[in-house]
Each structure stands twice: as C-alpha cells, then as structure tokens.
A and B are shown apart, each in its own frame.
Chain A
Amino acid sequence: MKDSSTGHASDDSGVRLWAAAARGAQPPSERVGLRDELMRGFDAEFATRVPHFRSARKLYYLAAGSAAALLLAWGALQLPTNSGTTKTGSESEDVALEAAERAARQAIVQARLEALGATLEALAKAPAVAPVPGTGDHATKTKITYPLIEAAAEAAAVSPSLLTQLAAARRIEEIDRQEAAARYRKILTSGSDGAVEQVAQERLRSLFP
C-alpha cells in the first residue's frame, strides 16, 4: 500500500489478500463506442475553445447549423474600419471569425436550452413507474424509468442524475409548488450544469411570477 502511516495497511497480509481478491472481480467488457461517446462529450464542451485551427472553426460553424452565425460573419466582413475603409485580409477575417464564433456559441446554448426544455415537458407527461392518481404521493409520482431518463439525458446532453432531479421537480409542480420550488433551488445550488440551472431558474420564475 502506498500510505503506510495508518500502521495497519502495509503490514497486514490479510488486507493484501483481500485487495488482490477484490481486484479479481472485473466488470464485463467495455461497451463498444463508449470512448467515442466520451470524446464527443469532450468535443461538445470544448468546441468553443479550439483556438488554433480555422478548419476546425469552419466545421464548428457547420455543426452549429446556425445561419445567423454565417450572416454575422458575412456582416462582420463588411464592417468599416475607423478610417472609413473596409477591412481586408487576415485582420477582417479574424473579426469575422470571432463574431461568427460568438454567434455559433450562442446558437448552441440556445439549442441546448430548447432541447432540455422540450425533454422536460416530454418527461413530465411520461408515465410513472407505478402511478397512484390523486394520492399526492411525490415519491411515486416522480418515478420515471431509468432507460427513459437515460435516453432523454442523452438527447438533451445532460447527465441522467441532473435530468432526474429536474424532471422530478417538474412532475410535482402541479401537486406541490413549494416542494417543486425547493427542488429547483437545490438544483440551482448544485453548480454543475449551466443549461440545467437556467431551465431550473425559468421554471422557478414560472411558479412564482
């Protein structure tokens, strides 16, 4: 063991035996494509932080699918300089690229928010695992099957656990607004996903306009 300061771990042959035996318990083979999925997550998170490759930026604009970004880029190329002339060459191209990148980033954030909002509404209407109509039983009414959460989380690009919390709050809004609000506030303090927090904030505002 690396840390022998406990005075037990290093000199305990039993512990070494148990640890070795525990290492014998191995999970099943890794899902095909899992690493690609993780890299896609990384690409999505860091897409706006690719500073060096213009080809990557162009691909990014295409991926964003934002006509607004392209229009802004074109508009930026036409921006007059302080001297009243039109910028040309790499300087104007940089300005255009930065403007387009900003617009594309906004478009992605907006698209993510819309996807998350739509996902949440769909989950609010999804059947519960064991619905008990009219009982006001929060625990029962908030249960949604894990595969559904999982698929929805993938579609909305958020973690299943965050989406579960969000969906649970959304589903009890009509039963207990205070409880729903408390759950949204808890999500807001988790600080783990900007889009989720923004949606939680919007739901809170809709509960208490």
Chain B
Amino acid sequence: MSPPLDGELARRAQAGDREAFEQLIALYLPRVRAFLFRLSGDASRVDDLAQEVFLAAVRNLRGLDQPMQFGAWIFGIAVRVERARRRPSHGSIDQEGFPEPADGMPARDGAEQAETSQIVMAAIHRLPTSLRETFLLRHVEELSAADAARALNAPEGTVRRWDFEARQRLREMLEARGLATERHST
C-alpha cells in the first residue's frame, strides 16, 4: 500500500471525484478480489463479494474520517462482507475452502509451485477464522499490525497474539510437509 497516494485519492473521492475513485478501484480491486478468494476459498462469488465491498465503501466513503487509512478500511469491509457471507441467513452457500492437492487445483506457473500453493492454502483454511484473517492480512497483504487491527476491529495486542498463534499452527501443519523453511522457497 502507498498511504499518501491512497489517502489523497480517498480524500478526492470523498469529494465526489470520479477519477480518484476509478484509481482506487484500479489499485485495490485486484487485491481485494485476491484477498476474498484466499479468505473464502469460494471462486464463484469473488466478484459478487468484491462488488459488495466496494459498494459498501462508496456508501460509507463520506464517513471515512481518516482517508490515509483507506487500505486498512477497505480490507476491513472485505473481512465483514466475507463474514456475513458465511452466516446462514445469507442464503445457500457453495463449497468453500481450499482442498488438498489431490483434489485438484489448477496449476499456474508450474506444477511444483501450484502444489506448494495448494498445500499452504489448505493449511491456512484449517485455521480458525480470526487466525486465518490475521495471517492473510499481516503476511500476504502485508498490513502492519496496527492496520490489521483496524481492519479486524480488534485490539492490536489481540491481533499480534492471533498472528503468533496462526504462525505456530501453520508451522505445525506444514513442517511435516517440509514447508517450514526457506529451502523450499520458489
């Protein structure tokens, strides 16, 4: 994220600047879609969820009192939209989550990388929700602990604890697969 640019764009968008909002979409839509996909494991609804996230952002943009925090704010909306999707009242829900490699996930840049990705995502999806959200925000989206706490609407100390726990659990799950050290890095 580049807060000064984001903040300026968000501030202009709050004033009704169409071009600024278009640039925010260009910056954040791909990231939010990827985040929602990794968080939910539901490829079929990624666009609907992303649409819901950005329309909620539009409706609440004027109330954003810290435009510089746009990144943490939009990821926070994404977290809440995805949580709402999992509530029973939201309607029927398709299969979600990342299967282990044997169940097949399309390879992208080589079979080995794809398999590593599958194994890691399957492990991330075995984490409890708050740990999964925290790990993705902190390490995949590279939000600071303070920004992740804003996005998760939780105290920073709690988020740090979740982060620690998420990494511990992932290490336990992935060590057995030989994925706990750099030597398997792609």
Q: Which residues of A contact B (CB under 8 A)?
A: 1-3, 5-6, 8-9, 12-28, 30-31, 34-35, 37-39, 41-43, 45-46, 49-51, 129, 139, 142-146, 149-150, 159-161, 164-165, 168, 192-193
| Interface core residue of A2, A22, A159, A192 (most chain B CB under 10 Å) | A22
CB–CB B92/A145 < 8 A: yes
With both chains docked as a complex, state the minimum distance between the C-beta of A115 and any C-beta of chain B, in angstroms: 16
Q: Which residues of B contact A (CB under 8 A)?
A: 13, 15-16, 18, 21-22, 25, 29-30, 33-34, 36-38, 43, 46-48, 50-52, 54-56, 58-61, 81, 84-85, 88-93, 98, 105, 108-109, 113-114, 116-121, 123-124, 136, 138-140, 142-146, 160, 163-164, 167, 170-171, 174, 179-182, 184-186
What are 17 of the A-B contact pairs (CB < 8 Å)? Answer: A14-B174, A15-B139, A17-B181, A17-B184, A17-B186, A18-B174, A27-B33, A27-B34, A30-B29, A30-B47, A34-B29, A34-B47, A143-B92, A149-B91, A159-B55, A160-B48, A164-B90
CB–CB B46/A43 < 8 A: no
Q: Which residues of B contact A41 (CB under 8 A)?
A: 54-55, 58
Q: Which residues of B contact A23 (CB under 8 A)?
A: 34, 140
Q: How far is the CA of A21 from the CA of B114 in the complex (A)?
A: 8
| Interface core residue of B52, B90, B114, B146 (most chain A CB under 10 Å) | B90
> A160 touches which one: B30, B50, B52, B113 (CB < 8 A)?
B52
Asked, given contacts A3-B145, A5-B145, whether A39 binds B89 with beta carbons under 8 Å apart, the answer is no
With both chains docked as a complex, state the minimum distance between the C-beta of A54 and any C-beta of chain B, in angstroms: 15
SS class, residues of chain A in contact with chain B: helix
Q: How far is the CA of A23 from the CA of B37 in the complex (A)?
A: 11
Q: Please name the residue on chain B nearest to A142 by beta carbon.
A: B89
> A24 touches which one: B25, B116, B160, B164 (CB < 8 A)?
B116
The 4 nearest A-B residue pairs measured at CB: A146-B91, A24-B117, A13-B182, A27-B37
Q: Which residues of B contact A160 (CB under 8 A)?
A: 48, 52, 90
> B36 touches which one: A27, A34, A45, A168 (CB < 8 A)?
A27
